[in-house]
Structure 1
């Protein structure tokens, strides 16, 4: 895994009691990168799925990429609320994300399994963010956001794995 994305402080200073806003904002930026990459990958699978799982995976991925896209705004706004700028460079997003392209053209079942693995990786990073935010930096707001996002990713992984098991 690469170094965490370094965020740039904005011109607006904030004092909400969060100990190290830079560390929390950097971790949020990594999650934002993961979320953006997963939106794109999920959408691409949505467009290209074929076979007996087409209908189920096509609809499930649509629900998921819509949720993920909405989450990008929430994550970026939290970074801004901490007094930092959200990532602006595509290269930074690609470099810091744990989401990687699959080799070749996966089958529908392979797509579901690949996405499930990605959701689990993001959920794990979100768990790390909970500890960083709440236990080390007095930031229950970010911890709450991370817990909610982890719950989404865990459910998404479960649904995708269940679909792939058919």
Structure 2
């Protein structure tokens, strides 16, 4: 079967309707914005944490921000594979994110609380996209969402455990 061609270039036909691809890309853009905001927050806390938990939190935050950094590319490339541009500016991320980044340098326990909330917010963003992805029969995006949910839920649990007495 020959691919359709348009004067502006080949027409995309991956078996997902154009409007569904646009809706999924919009949802993934929100996930990318949350993920980038979470990455920046975690990296900031890695640099600025202090107190008796310094060493363990400094190391834990490094593992977490490194994982987040690697996820950014995966999410952005899925948006591109769906035929849409990925957001990539602070202004776009600020407009799209559901996470409110703190001002200043919180105390270590507050950093943990803020990261729990940010991990959970990112999980909610990912989970909220499932109905659109399922309806469009978009297995690669569903797989990406499943992987991200596993990471965010596990990380939130691990951070939350640090706050228990």
> TM-score, normalised to structure 1's length?
0.88
1:12/1:83 contact within 8 Å kept:
no
Partner of 1:17: 15
Give the deviation of 1:164 after TM superposition.
2.5
SS of residue in 2 equivalent to 1:36: helix
Gaps spanning 5+ residues in structure 1: where?
Answer: 1-9
Q: Provide the aligned C-alpha RMSD in A.
A: 1.6
Give the deviation of 1:165 after TM superposition.
2.4
Give the deviation of 1:14 after TM superposition.
2.2
Q: 1:29-68 residue pairs with structure 2 within 5 A?
A: 29-68=29-68
Give the deviation of 1:97 after TM superposition.
0.5
Give the distance between the partners of 2:111 and 2:159, measured in 1 at CA.
9
1:21/1:82 contact within 8 Å kept:
yes
1:16-69 deviation per Cα after TM superposition (whole angstroms, max 9, x unaligned): 112310000000011001111111110000011111111111111101100100
Partner of 1:105: 105
Give the distance between the partners of 2:153 and 2:43, measured in 1 at CA.
19
1:21/1:83 contact within 8 Å kept:
yes
> TM-score, normalised to structure 2's length?
0.88
**Count of matched residue pairs:** 156
